[in-house]
Amino acid sequence: MKSTVVAAFAVLSLTAAERGFTSLFNGKNLDGWQLVRGRGPGYLVKDGTIICPLDGGGNLFTAKEYKDFVLRFEFKMEPGGNNGIGIRAPLEGDAAYAGMEIQILDHDHEKYKGKLKDTQKHGSVYDVIPAKADALKPAGEWNSEEIRIKGGKIKVTLNGKVITEGDISTVTDPAVLKKHPGLKREKGHIGFLGHGSLVEFRNLRIREL
């Protein structure tokens, strides 16, 4: 009886944790998404997963714009995999600068050794706020990630561990702001920023704040 109660409580807690979230992906096709500057076949859908194939990629954006939100998703990548999550991004320009990019990267791969700044490692706000911790699973395994942004405050949690936390409103260096005008954007699209490597995404859901 005790185990049944514990199991029921666990399910109830999980449901409560997901309250208010809606799916960004129907698991069947890319309705509600739009491809910008696609490469090769762009993005594919298979078995409830959005796939950026080796010969594909480009920017795949939500049709809707978002301001403050919590985004949850799972991802896995090939060894050396490289992608990104664009947030508050416009459809034009480089999302890492015209908006913001949360890095998706197998940063421990041999080809990146000695070449990355902390602001380029997985989970960093690309080129602006460094990832201060690491919880990335080995390439080929599914990871669970949450990106929370409200106003200027942003937090990235990977596999239950906070890896990046900062406030973009405290960035005042004129050179950084000139390079990253997207830091001043209040809303925009969410998207995948493919870089010609195999990365897969699933269970995408969002709660607006």
pLDDT reported for residue 9? 46
Region 23-208: CATH code? 2.60.120.560
User: Is 182 strand, coil or helix?
Assistant: helix
Instruction: Compute the distance between CA of residue 172 and CA of residue 36 in angstroms, rounded to an integer.
Output: 31
| Tokens 């690309």 -> residue | 126
pLDDT reported for residue 153? 98
- 17 or 107, greater pLDDT: 107
Strand locations in 33-119 (E): 33-36, 44-46, 49-52, 59-66, 69-77, 82-89, 100-105
Mean pLDDT of the chain, nearest integer: 93
Domain spans of the chain?
23-208
Question: Could you read off the pLDDT of 19-57 as tens digits, one per residue?
Answer: 899 999 999 999 999 999 999 999 999 999 999 999 999
Question: Could you read off the pLDDT of 135-180 as tens digits, one per residue?
Answer: 999 999 999 999 999 999 999 999 999 999 999 999 999 999 999 9
Percentage of residues in the chain having pLDDT higher than 70: 93
Instruction: Compute the distance between CA of residue 70 and CA of residue 206 in angstroms, rounded to an integer.
Output: 6
Closest CA to 60 of 189, 191, 190: 191
